[in-house]
Structure 1
Amino acid sequence: MFTRYFSVEEANACIPELEKILSQLQALLKEMEEKLWKLREAKELARRQGRPIDASTFLQEEAELDFLKIAAQGHIARIKEIGAILQDIGSGLVDFPMKLGDQEVMLCWRLGEPEILYFHGLTDGFAGRKPLPPGTAGPGKGTEGREGPGPGEPGGGKH
């Protein structure tokens, strides 16, 4: 079904770039919302004052919004180029197709999480995410090779 499947390690390697892209996308989205709100307010004020609201009246504001849309589309396209699937800009939710045995699943990552620790079925979405099975993640990551807490973790280190 998918053209590319990720290992946990491959998906984790994408996180630094995705963090940058998503942070930029979230900032663009916020700026777009603010500009759109101001534009709507300005158009409403002009309408109430009987001033014309034609294409040239708010040309600069409309052009700025178009520019922001194009920039956002470029960031979204970059996520697609990586092979990831952007689920939600606001929460920074991204999925990565993966084969778990012979089953297609999605590795599930959200902005702010240091690594991928969860997956879900193709139709389950974020609400159905589950911890990765032991042995799925790479050495020193996730759950593989972890029998208990390490030094510096609660319950870990020397006693």
Structure 2
Amino acid sequence: MVFTLYTPQTANKALPEVRRMFAGIVAQKNRVVVLQQELQNIADSGGDFERFMKKKQEMNAALTSLYKAMETLEATGVMIKSVDEGLLDFPSRRFDEEVWLCWKAGEDEIKFWHGKDEGFMGRKPLETTGIIEP
């Protein structure tokens, strides 16, 4: 993995591909949830071992795909903060401080940032960032 510091401009340029990758992660996560429920239903209904094991193997493969997709996205330098809430952070720098550029699913572009130790609730508008080119 190559470490990347993003500016608002480079983060917004990367955003279409990041959003595509993240949408795939969400879809894979939803598939895992469905498979977990199907597996639980088989167990609850007293299904036979063969049916249970086939479904378990299907779920294991789906989990492996999910984790690989997450690893691939994070290899770009983007941090997945929450799949469920659709939160991604891009590492950046504000003056001499390391910060996160913050994106939430549904937003068209990177519009906010927050400190390393702050979360989503600490988001601030980019207009007054002082975020500079690395």
Q: Quick check: TM above 0.5?
A: yes
Greater Rg, structure 1 or structure 2?
A: 1
Indicate the residue corresponding to 2:81 in structure 1. Answer: 87
TM-score, reference length from structure 2: 0.87
Q: CA RMSD of the aligned region, Å? A: 1.8
User: Which of 91, 94, 101 lines up with 2:95 in the alignment?
Assistant: 101
How far apart, in 2, do the equivalents of 1:136 and 1:65 lie? 46
From the two aligned structures, give the one with the greater helix fraction.
Answer: 2
Query: Is the CA contact 1:8–1:136 (under 8 Å) kept in the aligned structure 2?
Result: no
User: Which of 69, 75, 88 lines up with 2:69 in the alignment?
Assistant: 75
Indicate the residue corresponding to 2:125 in structure 1. Answer: 131
TM-score, reference length from structure 1: 0.74
User: Which of 65, 89, 99 lines up with 2:59 in the alignment?
Assistant: 65
Name the count of aligned residue pairs.
129
Q: Secondary structure at the match of 2:55?
A: helix
Q: Matched residues, percent identical? A: 26
- How many Å apart are 1:127 and its aligned residue? 0.7
Indicate the residue corresponding to 2:38 in structure 1. Answer: 38
Is residue 2:21 matched to residue 1:27?
no
Change in Cα spacing, 1:64 to 1:52, as seen in structure 2 (3 Å) is closer
Query: Is the CA contact 2:80–2:89 (under 8 Å) kept in the aligned structure 1?
Result: yes
Query: Which sections of structure 1, spanning at least 5 residues, go unmatched?
Result: 138-159
Query: Which sections of structure 2, spanning at least 5 residues, go unmatched?
Result: none
The list of structure 1 runs, each at least 4 consecutive aligned residues, that deviate by more than 6 angstroms after superposition, is none
Q: What amino acid does structure 1 have at the position aligned with 2:12?
A: N
> Per-residue displacement from partner, 1:97-122 (whole Å, max 9, x unpaired)?
11100111110011211110100011
- How many Å apart are 1:81 and its aligned residue? 1.2
Q: What amino acid does structure 1 have at the position aligned with 2:14?
A: C
